Amino acid sequence: EPMDSAGCRNVLQLPDDVWLGILGYLQILDIVRCESSCTMLRDVIVYYGVYKGMLDRICKRKRINNYMLMPDTVRRLKTDLAISAYYKRRLYQYTYKAFPRQRAEDEYIQTYKVGRKKQELDRLVVKGMKKFSIIGV
C-alpha cells in the first residue's frame, strides 16, 4: 500500500465501494462539488451512475415510477459522462423544483406590448439580441 512521508494512506486510495458508501450520505450539491474536485472522484461518480442511483432511490422511497429514465435507444448513443450529466441535471431539477426557473422572455415587455410601444419594444429586443448575439452584427 502506497503511503505518504508520515506513513498515512492517501484518502483517494480508498476502494470504490468505500467512496460509494461515503457519497451515499451526501446531498446532490455536495456530490457535484466532489465530482468537480478531482478526476478520480468524477470517474467513480460517472462510472457507477451515482446520480441515476440517487434518482432511483428517491423514486423508490416515494413509491413513484422514475419517469426520468433515459431511453435505451438514446443511452446507447451517449458517453458515460453525457449520461451522468443527464441524470445530474434531472436530479437537480427534481430536487430543487420549488425554485422557479428564469423565464426566457421578459414579463414586463410581454405585459406592456401595445400599439406603438409594442413596435418600439420589439425593435429594442431585436437590437439587443443582435448586440449580444455571437453571430449577430
3-state secondary structure of 66: coil
Average pLDDT rounded to a whole number, residues 22-34: 94
Q: What is the pLDDT of residues 74-123, one digit of tens each?
A: 999 999 999 999 999 999 988 887 655 555 555 555 565 566 667 776 77
- Quick one: pLDDT at residue 137? 42
Closest by CA to 51, choosing from 68, 65, 73, is 68
Least trusted range by pLDDT, from 10-14, 78-82, 83-87, 126-130: 126-130
Percent of the chain at pLDDT > 90 equals: 47
- Quick one: pLDDT at residue 107? 59
3-state secondary structure of 71: coil
Are 23 and 48 contacting, i.e. CB atoms less than 8 angstroms apart?
A: no
Is the pLDDT reported for residue 13 higher than 70?
yes
C-alpha cell at 107: 414579463
- Quick one: pLDDT at residue 11? 86
Higher pLDDT, 105 or 35: 35
How far is residue 19's CA from residue 38's CA, in Å, rounded to a whole number?
Answer: 13
Alpha helices in the chain (DSSP H): 16-23, 28-37, 39-47, 50-62, 72-75, 80-95, 107-111, 115-132
Least trusted range by pLDDT, from 28-42, 66-80, 123-137: 123-137
Amino acid at 127: K
Q: Is the dihedral of CA 64, 70, 86, 100 positive or negative?
A: negative
Give, rounded to a whole angstrom, the gap between the first and last alpha carbons of the chain: 60
The set of residues, in sequence order, having a beta carbon less than 8 Å from that of 3 and lying 6+ positions away, is: 9
Are 121 and 109 contacting, i.e. CB atoms less than 8 angstroms apart?
A: yes
- Quick one: pLDDT at residue 108? 57
- Quick one: pLDDT at residue 136? 44
In total, the chain counts a number of residues equal to 137
